[in-house]
Amino acid sequence: MTTTTPFQPGSALFDRRPLTFDPTLKRNRLNRLLTSIAALFAAIAVLPLFLVILYVLVQGGRLMSLSLFTQLPPPPGLEGGGIGNAVLGTIIVTLVASAISIPIGVGGGVYLTEYSNRGWFSQFISVGNDILAGVPSIISGVFVYGVIVSTRVFFGQSYSAAAGGIALAVLMLPTVIKTTDEGLKLVPQELRWGAYGVGASKFVTVMRITLPAAFTPIATGVVLAIARAAGETAPLIFTALFSPFWPEGVFNPIATMSVLIFNFAIMPYEAQNELAWAASFVLVMMILAANLLARWISSFSRT
């Protein structure tokens, strides 16, 4: 006489629990309902991004031309012109900010991971970095205005591209420090031990082993920080101001696309409003390209 266990095909329990998906079960219907609600919320969260890109594409994309990047903005009320000085100014200010923030930020992240003993000073730096990441960008602009612009420390100049770059560097620092710190933590400790085993010093190990191994996350953080800085407006109003002319050096006022958008969008002239839309399109495409580049760089860490 043979007996049937509850887990054999001939048992009643097995017959009541088919291996195929049963849409009539209450738990499966509830799972589909909750999955649909979660997908709806995700679509609502992403919808503003697509609406903004679509609207800017429609309003500013139709204005794209070669002269837009090679000409200066026209006087208020006149037609024609371009945003060439603002595009070039944005690149200059962002380069100044990157030249300041990347070495300091990478160095700060290296100290937190490789040289600090996680004592009170390193904890103070970590907490301060997190707080700085949440400080409104306009506070950075007011700070640099009070320290640099109003005191005219740069050869007697007040508003300048250098001051704008310093203000943006303050905003970039938390992202660069945090990504460097986290990227170095992902490097296996065995790589450091192997370098120490063959007689490498701490400095050589950091420069030749750990930093190259963490290049991908560090580069991703740098690109994201640059993308954030390129779209800031408030700090530049207090520091770089604006100029209707071509850039005349880093110690003079300079035009940027974000400030141009702010100035021209509130003017009662159609020509300036159109240039504001064109600059918005160019700026959105630059930030979108920077974020896609960051995603592409980060994909190397998963391969």
- Cα distances (angstroms) measured from residue 257 to each of 38, 175, 234, 277: 37, 23, 12, 11
51: pLDDT strictly greater than 80:
yes
In this prediction, residue 25 carries a pLDDT of 80
Alpha carbon distance 227, 231 (integer Å): 7
Residue written as token pair 């938390």:
174
- Non-local CB neighbours of 12 within 8 Å, separated by 6+ positions: none
Q: Decide which of 94 and 300 is more confident.
A: 94
**Chain segment 53-63, per-residue pLDDT in tens:** 899 888 888 88
Strand partners, 157: 154
Judge contact between 73 and 256, C-beta under 8 A: no
The type of residue at 105 is: G
Domain ranges of the chain: 67-302
Q: What is the mean pLDDT of residues 141-155?
A: 92
**Chain segment 82-141, per-residue pLDDT in tens:** 999 999 999 999 999 999 999 999 999 999 998 888 788 888 999 999 999 888 999 999
- Non-local CB neighbours of 223 within 8 Å, separated by 6+ positions: 290, 291, 293, 294, 297
Q: Rounded to two decimals, what is the model's pTM?
A: 0.83
Q: Which band of pLDDT confidence, cut at 50, 70 and 90, is reported for residue 7?
A: low
- Cα distances (angstroms) measured from residue 34 to each of 20, 40, 41: 21, 10, 11
Second CATH level (architecture) for the domain 67-302: Orthogonal Bundle (1.10)
13: pLDDT strictly greater than 70:
no
